[in-house]
Structure formats: structure tokens, C-alpha cells
Amino acid sequence: MFSERTGYIIWVNDVKSARSLEKYGSIHYISRKMHYVVMYMNSDRADEVVRNIQRLPFVKKIERSYRNEIKTEYERNVPDKTRFYSL
């Protein structure tokens, strides 16, 4: 139902022209101070889209986000000690 999405951090020279990246994927955040764009795109077409984005004159560098590879499910092996510290 949902396609797999991949996040990319795109470092740009000009934030105003970074709005034109919307046609390549969905823009999640644009940092005006640090000049980068966080955007998500479909994983199956990500390689060719990254090649097209790299050719744009205002793009400095593209980094892939590793957020979907980080483990987000935690297990508690240590017993809860908060009840011992209550007043």
C-alpha cells in the first residue's frame, strides 16, 4: 500500500531556488540558516533522482539519511527503580 521512502539531506547554495526540489520528492524541512533541505522520495527511484538533483547548479552535496535503519524499538532489561525513590 505505502511505498518505501528514503530521506536525503541536500546542502544548497541558495535557499530560494531550493523550493524547486519539490518536483523530485516531498520536502520535509528547509533550513534557511544552515542552507539544507530534508526531503523524502520513493526508494525505487531514488538513485536516478539523486543523479538529477546533483546536476542542479545550486546543490553542493547530497547525504542519505540513516533514520530508517536506526533501531527504534527498545527493550527494558533493567527493573524500574522509580518507585524506590519516591517520597
Domain of residue 35, CATH code = 3.30.70.80
User: What is the model's pLDDT at position 1?
Assistant: 65
The pLDDT of residue 86 is: 63
Cell 527503580, residue located: 81
- Domain membership of residue 63 (yes or no) is yes
From first to last of the 87 residues of the chain, give the pLDDT tens digit.
677 899 999 999 999 999 999 999 999 999 999 999 999 999 999 999 999 999 999 999 999 998 888 888 877 777 777 777 766
Number of domains in the chain: 1
Q: Identify which of 45, 44, 38, 27 has the alpha carbon closest to the alpha carbon of residue 67.
A: 38
pLDDT of amino acid 42 = 93
pTM of the predicted structure, to 2 decimals: 0.78
Q: Give the structural domain span for 35.
A: 5-68
pLDDT at residue 77 in the model = 77
Confirm whether 85 is domain-assigned: no
CA atoms within 13 A on the CB side of 15: 10
Cα–Cα distance, 19 to 68 (Å, whole number):
25
